[in-house]
């Protein structure tokens, strides 16, 4: 299982938790007020709902979906879920599952809810964790023998229980899960390439899809193939793993008060995300259940939200399959990829220094509307520094890494202008890619004749347009700041030059 554990511990990121950026932000503005949340257009919602009935897996309209779960907008199984949860110890709730404008199904206040109130109280007997009992006990024992890490273990557990249908104790929960979770895992390579070409999220999605495929292949080769009776191919296949990882990415909760344990928490996972809300799910030791504390009051009929963490629009699209409306996410960021120039005389030495600090010749940095990380500037210094600064390469590479504790806010006045120009050039190249996509998007896929496929394409394209618009907006802001800084440096230099010239003339 070495391969699966390496893959899954390094790449698959847990969801729902507060996830503060590991980068040190260099802020450049304090005047960003996100507008309030507003409803998506009804057309978009209609398209979105019908997408779950269309195909998703392959490039054609014939890809299969798993034979369990329900349509994402369906309330068909919601009341069975509620009844079953009550019987299993969920206390009476002030919220009920309903159709909603944001997120299709969600939890809606049935009574007045005060600000600062604790809600939910889902007991641990209703969590699915890596320690949950398997209905097929032998299958669970085999996975434990192989020390399968939490994520692939939970993914396999979910499939094992889903495959048992009504014989599983989780059948009511699984029947209410979406048959096709919204996630970039369900985008084909062609869709990622055409709609997300400008965004670095495309690469993140490809890496994630490859991780899931690699993990499934690894489990199949090492374990499933040796126990075909316990893990039949009809149930444990690529399609079911894509589904279970899609469910984990969009519903798994990290519980800080349980030492960061990850769990699927039925009922709590019916809550949708709002960028305006600060509150998140956690285990409450005093009431011994998963709760959240409201940070605002709700009236009957209002949808109740939590925060899935401080995530960018791209990260929300990657794991949850939605993009908040432009300008509503104060945590939004865009990744800018900086690269060493192959023609650099010191390419080898610079790469060595980067590798020493866990970085590579091409590195992605998050830029926010409020600033960029100091690590990005350090990387830019390294990229533009001349051979005469060889003895500083290590210091620059260390400062460019978010894994080291070395001094970050380094300044090399002699190459500051070049470094800023380098970032500006990269930023402008990126902006032009976004603009190209946004301009072309209007006329894309107009020749599509299959209505199901057309619906799907329209839906994905709209998500991509929303993402690209929000990412380009951040880049425009960075471009403005960079141009202004460069202008200041250049006019300062000009002034110093004139002064120097004047003094020289005086002496002459
Ligand atoms: C934890 S589940 C929440 C319950 C989900 N709505 C359901 O019906 O099963 C997360 C999923 O809800 C949807 N969702 C959550 N917050 C959303 C939002 N602000 N806008 C659009 N969809 C959202 C996305 O499809 C996401 O993958």
3-state secondary structure string, 85-102? HHHCCCCCCCEEEEECCC
pLDDT of residue 22: 60
ipTM of the complex: 1.00
Work out whether the CA dihedral 40, 43, 44, 46 comes out positive or negative. Answer: positive
Q: Is the separation of the CB atoms in 462 and 47 below 8 Å? A: yes
Rounded Cα–Cα distance for residues 108 and 171 (Å): 24
Choose the weakest-confidence range: 125-129, 177-181, 402-406, 413-417. 402-406
pLDDT of residue 23: 64
CA 23 / ligand 1 centre spacing (Å): 28
pLDDT of residue 1: 38
CA 3 / ligand 1 centre spacing (Å): 31
Q: In what order do the strands lie in the sheet with 25-27?
A: 25-27, 371-373, 362-368, 333-339
Nearest residue (CA) to ligand 1, atom 17: 103
Task: Look up the CATH architecture of domain 2-34+64-320.
Answer: Alpha-Beta Complex (3.90)
Identify which has the larger pLDDT, 54 or 106: 106
pLDDT of residue 296: 97
Q: Is the separation of the CB atoms in 174 and 78 below 8 Å? A: no
CA-closest candidate to residue 275, choices 334, 246, 316, 247: 316
Look up residue 458 and give its two tokens: 């329209």
Over residues 39-53, mean pLDDT: 46
Rounded Cα–Cα distance for residues 21 and 368 (Å): 11
Look up residue 359 and give its two tokens: 């970085």
Q: Is 282 annotated as a binding residue?
A: no
Q: Is 283 annotated as a binding residue?
A: yes
pLDDT of residue 20: 37
CA-closest candidate to residue 305, choices 324, 323, 278, 266: 278
The two beta strands, 371-373 and 25-27, are: antiparallel
Q: Is 272 annotated as a binding residue?
A: yes
What average pLDDT is seen over the chain?
88
Which residue is it, tokens 């976004």?
Answer: 434
Nearest residue (CA) to ligand 1, atom 10: 250
Choose the weakest-confidence range: 13-22, 278-287, 346-355, 391-400. 13-22
- Which residues' Cβ are closer than 6 Å to ligand 1? 102-106, 178, 181-182, 250-251, 269-270, 272-273, 320-322
The pLDDT tens digits for 133-192 are 999 999 999 999 999 999 999 999 999 999 999 999 999 999 999 999 988 999 999 999
The 10 Å Cβ neighbour count of residue 319 is 28
CA 305 / ligand 1 centre spacing (Å): 10
pLDDT of residue 63: 57
Q: Say yes or no to pLDDT of 21 above 60.
A: no
pLDDT band at 105 (very low <50, low <70, confident <90, very high): very high
Residue 486 burial by CB count (10 A; 0-12/13-18/19+): exposed, middle or buried? middle
Rounded Cα–Cα distance for residues 291 and 91 (Å): 12
Q: Say yes or no to pLDDT of 305 above 90.
A: yes
pLDDT of residue 447: 82
Rounded Cα–Cα distance for residues 198 and 436 (Å): 9
pLDDT band at 26 (very low <50, low <70, confident <90, very high): low
Rounded Cα–Cα distance for residues 208 and 205 (Å): 5
Over residues 331-335, mean pLDDT: 97
CA 176 / ligand 1 centre spacing (Å): 13
Q: Is 320 annotated as a binding residue?
A: yes
CA 93 to chain centre: 30
pLDDT of residue 173: 97
Residue in 303, 315, 322 to alter for ligand 1 test, most ligand atoms within 8 A of Cβ: 322
End-to-end CA distance of the chain: 79
Q: Say yes or no to pLDDT of 200 above 80.
A: yes
List residues bridging with 363 in a β-sheet.
338
Cα dist from 265 to 247, 281, 283, 442, whole Å: 12, 10, 11, 41
Over residues 239-267, mean pLDDT: 97
pLDDT of residue 502: 76
CA 181 / ligand 1 centre spacing (Å): 9
pLDDT of residue 31: 34
The 10 Å Cβ neighbour count of residue 403 is 10
Q: Is 31 annotated as a binding residue?
A: no
Share of the chain above pLDDT 90, in %: 77
pLDDT of residue 57: 41
- Supply the CATH classification number for the domain 333-503: 3.90.1420.10
Cα dist from 126 to 130, 347, 424, whole Å: 13, 55, 52
Q: Say yes or no to pLDDT of 27 above 60.
A: no
pLDDT band at 499 (very low <50, low <70, confident <90, very high): confident
- H helices within 137-200, ranges in order? 137-145, 150-163, 171-175, 189-195
pLDDT band at 19 (very low <50, low <70, confident <90, very high): very low
Q: Is 251 annotated as a binding residue?
A: yes
The two beta strands, 305-306 and 272-273, are: parallel
The 10 Å Cβ neighbour count of residue 334 is 31
The pLDDT tens digits for 259-287 are 999 999 999 999 999 999 999 999 999 99
Nearest residue (CA) to ligand 1, atom 14: 103
pLDDT of residue 74: 82
pLDDT of residue 496: 76
Over residues 352-363, mean pLDDT: 97
Domain ranges of the chain: 2-34+64-320, 333-503
Main-chain phi, psi angles of 416, to 5 degrees: -60, -45
């Amino acid at each position: 299982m070495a391969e699966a554990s390496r893959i899954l511990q390094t790449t698959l990121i847990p969801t729902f938790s507060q996830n503060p950026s590991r980068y040190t932000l260099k802020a450049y503005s304090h005047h960003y007020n996100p507008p309030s949340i507003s409803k998506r257009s009804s057309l978009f919602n209609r398209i979105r709902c019908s997408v779950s009935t269309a195909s998703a897996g392959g490039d054609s309209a014939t890809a299969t979906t798993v034979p369990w779960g329900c349509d994402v907008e369906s309330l068909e199984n919601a009341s069975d879920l509620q009844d079953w949860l009550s019987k299993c110890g969920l206390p009476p709730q002030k919220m009920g599952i309903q159709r909603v404008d944001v997120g299709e199904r969600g939890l809606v206040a049935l009574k007045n809810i005060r600000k600062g109130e604790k809600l939910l109280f889902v007991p641990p007997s209703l969590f699915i964790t890596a320690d949950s009992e398997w209905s097929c006990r032998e299958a669970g024992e085999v996975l434990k023998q192989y020390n399968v890490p939490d994520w692939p273990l939970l993914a396999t557990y979910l499939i094992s229980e889903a495959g048992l249908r009504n014989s599983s104790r989780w059948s009511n929960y699984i029947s209410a899960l979406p048959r096709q979770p919204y996630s970039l895992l369900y985008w084909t390579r062609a869709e990622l390439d055409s709609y997300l070409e400008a965004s670095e999220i495309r690469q993140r999605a490809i890496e994630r899809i490859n991780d899931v495929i690699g993990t499934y292949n690894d489990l199949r080769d090492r374990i499933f193939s040796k126990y075909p009776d316990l893990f039949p191919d009809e149930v444990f296949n690529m399609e079911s793993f894509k589904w279970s990882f899609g469910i984990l990415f969009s519903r798994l909760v990290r519980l800080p008060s349980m030492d960061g344990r990850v769990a699927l928490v039925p009922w709590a996972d019916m809550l949708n995300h709002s960028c305006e809300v600060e509150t998140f799910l956690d285990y409450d030791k005093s009431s011994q259940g998963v709760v959240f504390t409201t940070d605002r009051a709700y009236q009957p009929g209002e949808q109740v939200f939590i925060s899935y963490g401080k995530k960018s629009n791209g990260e929300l699209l990657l794991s949850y399959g939605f993009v908040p409306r432009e300008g509503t996410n104060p945590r939004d960021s865009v990744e800018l990829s900086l690269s060493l120039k192959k023609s650099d005389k010191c390419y080898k030495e610079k790469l060595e220094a980067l590798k020493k600090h866990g970085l590579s010749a091409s590195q992605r940095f998050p830029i926010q509307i409020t600033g960029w990380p100091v690590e990005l500037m350090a990387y830019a210094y390294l990229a533009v520094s001349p051979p005469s600064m060889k003895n500083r390469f290590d210091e620059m590479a260390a400062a460019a890494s978010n894994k080291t504790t070395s001094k970050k806010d380094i300044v090399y006045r002699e190459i500051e202008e070049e470094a800023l120009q380098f970032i500006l050039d990269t930023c402008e190249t990126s902006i032009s890619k976004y603009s190209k996509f946004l301009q072309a998007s209007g006329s894309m896929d107009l020749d599509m004749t299959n209505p199901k496929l057309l619906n799907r394409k329209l839906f994905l394209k709209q998500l991509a347009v929303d993402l690209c618009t929000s990412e380009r907006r951040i880049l425009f802001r960075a471009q403005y700041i960079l141009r202004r800084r460069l202008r200041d440096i250049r006019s300062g230099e000009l002034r110093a030059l004139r002064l120097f010239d004047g003094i020289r003339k005086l002496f002459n």
